[in-house]
Structure 1
């Protein structure tokens, strides 16, 4: 039965994780269990799609379902390609330094450092981009992880896609500004305008 252990099954609802799995690990054959969340099928087998705990659920008269779930108590790490929410800490002419606060919609227990380089702010006319016209300290930004930096805790981020960029910014008057274009936000109190790399926020990224 491969790596799948009958003793991991429990009657009723979901069991406690029996053991840890790593991405790509073969869990069982398709004739033994159906694939659940955190898995994929390959060559007649169910394999782990992520690192986490192996869970199985028994269904009356049907094959059990095998799933892989992350430990909700463990610290998540940003993966390349992940969408993250971060806060701008400082800027200079070459990059913005940020703190990563969320991975997707999941808040982090401790933040990670990130950098958005000038050439990664926009997809077009990169040579004309100016960091201070895109971000200001205190801005909340949606970005995508593109690679690790020099240290494991310093991630390189991009806001080049239309859906990425500033989602929350405050004016000098202290009011939360309203986006009025892809490159401007306006203070509702003073009606003054400030330049930003504004995100076209998709519904799944809105925090309620």
Structure 2
């Protein structure tokens, strides 16, 4: 299994085992894993003089990495975001990454009940698709109103990419397009899972 960290990190995302890297700025260690403490780009710094010591893994924001201004979401963009609250008709999402660029400021998106799946939209329930703190991949389908973008997960590659088990707090893994399982307790929770890309 590869220990190479992903190039883009989202707050709380596991990045690599502590056996392969030393946690640096923008990260923290928990349960033998290094996690991102902020959203941005991962960087590795070779160890100092000692050839046996591990490289340092850090996360920097898009501003630090690129030196450019803030990214603004646009219609058609694929985004990563954190679900902050749900209601029977919609899920409210904080947009964290647009394309491959981490956001410097907060943007809000809404996933409406009819935009979760392509089929059986009237039978789809928000609570069985998303939970607060889930990390989701979605597409911006409309600029919405002055407060929120309208998002859709009505494609196989869109939906929940990271979710924590409510019972154990462990990171769950998908077992089907509609369920995720906790590796510690075996508990299965409903989600609208994103197919890996």
What interval of TM-score do these two structures reach, taking the shorter chain for normalisation? Answer: 0.5 to 0.7
Instruction: Name the count of aligned residue pairs.
Output: 131
The C-alpha deviation readout for 1:151-202, integer Å capped at 9, x for no partner, is 1x41000000000000000002100001000000000010000000000021
TM-score (norm 1): 0.62
**Cα separation, 2, equivalents of 1:72 and 1:195:** 40
Q: Note the residue ranges of structure 2 that are not aligned, 5 or more in a row.
A: 1-65
Counterpart in the other structure of 1:159: 153
Counterpart of 2:176 in 1: which secondary structure?
coil
**Cα separation, 2, equivalents of 1:96 and 1:148:** 16
Counterpart in the other structure of 1:86: 81
Counterpart in the other structure of 1:149: 144
In the TM superposition, 1:45-194 aligns within 5 A as 72-151=67-146, 153-172=147-166, 173-194=168-189
**Cα separation, 1, equivalents of 2:170 and 2:103:** 26
Q: Note the residue ranges of structure 1 that are not aligned, 5 or more in a row.
A: 1-70, 203-208
Structure 1 range deviating more: 153-162 or 175-184 = 153-162
Q: 1:114 offset after TM fit, Å? A: 0.5
The runs of at least 4 aligned residues of structure 1 exceeding 2 Å deviation read: none
Counterpart in the other structure of 2:19: none
Q: 1:137 offset after TM fit, Å? A: 0.1
**Cα separation, 2, equivalents of 1:200 and 1:72:** 33
What is the RMSD of the two structures over their aligned residues, measured on CA atoms? Answer: 1.1
TM-score (norm 2): 0.65
**Cα separation, 2, equivalents of 1:197 and 1:164:** 8
**Cα separation, 2, equivalents of 1:141 and 1:177:** 13
**Cα separation, 2, equivalents of 1:105 and 1:111:** 16
